[in-house]
Amino acid sequence: MTAVAHEPTTPAEGLLEIFLSLDTPAGFRAELIEGEIVVTPPPDGEHEDYIELIVRQVYGRARTEMQFSGNKGLKLISGGHCPKNHVIPDGTFAPRALRLYRGAEPWMPCEGVAMVLEVTSTKPETDREAKRRCYARAGIPLYLLVDRDAASITLFSDPKGDDYPELCTRPFGKPLSLPEPFAFDLDTTDFL
């Protein structure tokens, strides 16, 4: 029996099909963000250093034991006629007890994710705007943004609709309080 190719019924389905069939070079990330395919090159060392500084503190100081992934993609709600967003955060934190990262699927739902982390890189506006909207629409409680151009760190919280009405920004070198389930002050001294 010969398999019949599935014909997309909408432009959004067609875009999603194209996106899911992409074969990006090693180290590159392909994401589908608000109806746009975004491909980013491998991160630089400074980018990775910020992530490591945060992960080390979360593992050592968070009130709830956390799991971290820097590679697991999230399927997120989208707005309008766009296909479902497929975003790969620089970091995703979830309570270890949930064991959300198990399974062979490269894309997982976002239920249970406690916080996502982004460090600005080649397209900082994507991290500042589009991804923030995506994470808020998905109801992810906390979004931590390390903005290298502004030399600051921002915690977005209390998602409502397609944004986070609560935010706290600190310059590098000043502590930033992370609420439950983390419940500690993130030290950014080494970010300088």
Nearest to 91 by CA among 74, 112, 109: 74
Q: Is 16 among the domain residues?
A: no
Q: Is 78 among the domain residues?
A: no
pLDDT band at 4 (very low <50, low <70, confident <90, very high): very low
Q: Give the CATH number for residue 177.
A: 3.90.1570.10
End-to-end CA distance of the chain: 63
Backbone angles phi, psi at 97, to 5 degrees: -60, -25
Q: Is 51 among the domain residues?
A: yes
Q: Is 120 among the domain residues?
A: yes
The angle subtended at Cα 164 by Cα 16 and Cα 115, nearest 5°, is 70
The number of distinct structural domains making up the chain is 1
Q: Is 3 among the domain residues?
A: no
Nearest to 87 by CA among 125, 8, 42, 33: 33
pLDDT at 124 > cutoff 90: yes
Parent domain of 104: 44-71+89-191
Q: Is 29 among the domain residues?
A: no
Q: Enumerate residues 6+ apart whose C-beta is below 8 A from 124.
A: 147, 148, 149
Q: Is 23 among the domain residues?
A: no
Q: Is 22 among the domain residues?
A: no
What pLDDT does residue 3 have? 46
* 25-39, 67-81, 145-159: least confidently modelled range: 67-81
pLDDT band at 18 (very low <50, low <70, confident <90, very high): confident
